[in-house]
Amino acid sequence: MGFFPDPLLTPDQVETLKTDTVVSSSMKGFEELGVRVHSIDSILPGYLETFRSGGRLAKARA
């Protein structure tokens, strides 16, 4: 399929699909590893502020 102008799957994607990416249930989770989980809704506005008109980059340029 990689020879078509807009392939559905590339050879690299086929290779990736050959590998199992599901984590075993016996592995430690975020809590056991001491990782605090946050929703993207609580983090994203801070990242986007940099790119907003009048955001942090605009203040730095002024």
Q: What's the CA gap between 10 and 12, in Å, rounded? A: 5
Residue 57 has a pLDDT of 65
pLDDT at 39 > cutoff 60: yes
Q: What's the CA gap between 43 and 21, in Å, rounded? A: 26
pLDDT in tens, 1-25: 667 778 788 888 899 999 988 989 8
pLDDT band at 60 (very low <50, low <70, confident <90, very high): low
